[in-house]
Amino acid sequence: MNARFWSNSHHSTPHPRLSLLLQVFKSTVPRLVEHYATSLRAAESTAMGLNELLLCLDGSLCAVGQAVEALNEAGPSINVVFDHTEDETQFNDQNLANYDAIMFVSTTGEVLDDSGKAAFQKYLDLGGNFVGVHSASDSLVNTTFYGKELGAYFDYHPALQNATVDVLVSHPSTSMLPAEWHIQEEMYNFKSDPRAIGAVVVLAANESSYVDNGTRNFDQGSPHPSAWFQEHGAGVESGQIAGRSFYTSLGHLNQTWQDPLFMSHVTGGLTWALQANTTKAFNASALVGNSGPSTSASATGTSPTSGPSAKPSSASADMGYAIVSGMLALGVTWWLFAS
C-alpha cells in the first residue's frame, strides 16, 4: 500500500495533476484525505481520504507547508497515499466512502458546514478511521460527535518553550521514542480528560519541565495528556461500526516536522489507525474505504508500515490514498502530489 497526497483549492483552475490523481484513486490501496483549514484564515479548506484517510491541516504559518511536505515524503515508505483538497464540497457521502481514514492537521474553527459534518458522522458510523494532529483539537468545538471522536478539546497553551513529554504506553506511535522526550512545543491543556471516554493516553506532558502561568478551568486528568488513541472511536452513533482514532497535540513548529522522531510518532499513530480492519483496504466486506477497481471479495490492501524508515514498496494495486486541503494564513494554497 502506498499513500498519495492531492491538494485542491477553491480556485476554478484545476491542478495540472488532478486528472492523474483521479486515475490513481482507482487503485486498491488504503487512502487518506488530508484537510487543511481554519476559519481564521482568508478562506476555509477541507480534506478527505487516507488509506482512505482524511487529514485536515489548519494552515499554521510555521508548519503547514512543512507538514504537507513531510507527510508527502513519508508516504511511499509507509505505504500510504495522501490526497489533498481545499474544497469542502468534497466532504460528502460519496467521496468520503472511498477513504480509509480522515486526518486533520492543525485545523482550527468551523472547517465544515452542516452537510460536511453529517457526511463525516456517517463516515465514522460506517467504520471510517480518524487521525488528528495539533490544533485539530481546536476545530468543530460545538460538534458533539467530533469531540468524542477526537477525545478532548483544546483549552489553552503556555508560551512556546522547551519541555519534556513522558512515554506512558508502548504503542506504534511511541515505540521509537525515548522514555523522556525533550521537545520545543506548545504544551496543550484540554477541556476534559480523554480517558473519560475510553482513550488511552500514550504521551504525557511533564509539567515540571516547563512554565505554565495560565489558569486551568477544566479537569484534564493526570498524568497531563499530550497524545492518545481510541481502539474504538467514540464519535460513532450507538450500534454503528467504530474505527480507530489517534490524536497528538504536538506538531506546531516547522522544525518539528523535520524531526525523524516526531515523524515516526505521527506515522506510527496513522498506520496503527489504518490497520483497524474496518475499511475496505484491509476488509473486503467493509462499508467504506479504498477497494480499488477489483470487485473480488478477496481484494484487500497491503498493510501500512509503522514508520518512515521502512523500505518503500513499489506502486501497485495495493495502495492507500488521502485527500488533503490546506492553506497558509497569507491565503496561499498548497498543491502537492506525491508518487
Q: Could you tell me the mean pLDDT of each successive run of 10 residues in the chain, 339 residues long?
A: 29 22 33 53 28 36 70 88 75 92 89 94 97 94 98 97 97 98 98 99 99 97 99 96 98 94 97 94 90 40 52 31 32 25
Which residues touch 323 (CB under 8 Å, ≥6 apart)? Answer: 5, 6, 8, 31, 32, 33, 34, 35, 47, 48, 49, 50, 54, 82, 83, 84, 85, 90, 95, 99
The fold of 5-325 is Rossmann fold (3.40.50)
Q: Cα separation of 2 and 207, whole Å?
A: 39
3-state helix, strand, coil in the chain (%, to 5): 25, 25, 50
Predicted TM-score of the model (pTM): 0.77
Q: Label residue 11 exposed, middle or buried (CB < 10 Å: 0-12, 13-18, 19+).
A: exposed
Residue 90: predicted pLDDT? 81
Residue 204: predicted pLDDT? 99
Residue 81: predicted pLDDT? 81
Helix intervals (H) in the chain:
18-24, 64-78, 93-96, 114-125, 144-150, 260-274
CA distances from 83 to 48, 97, 150, 237, 271 (A): 7, 14, 21, 27, 16
Neighbours of 196 (CB within 10 A): 13
Residue 200: predicted pLDDT? 99
List the domain boundaries for the chain: 5-325
> Please, are residues 68 and 7 in contact by the beta-carbon 8 Å criterion?
yes
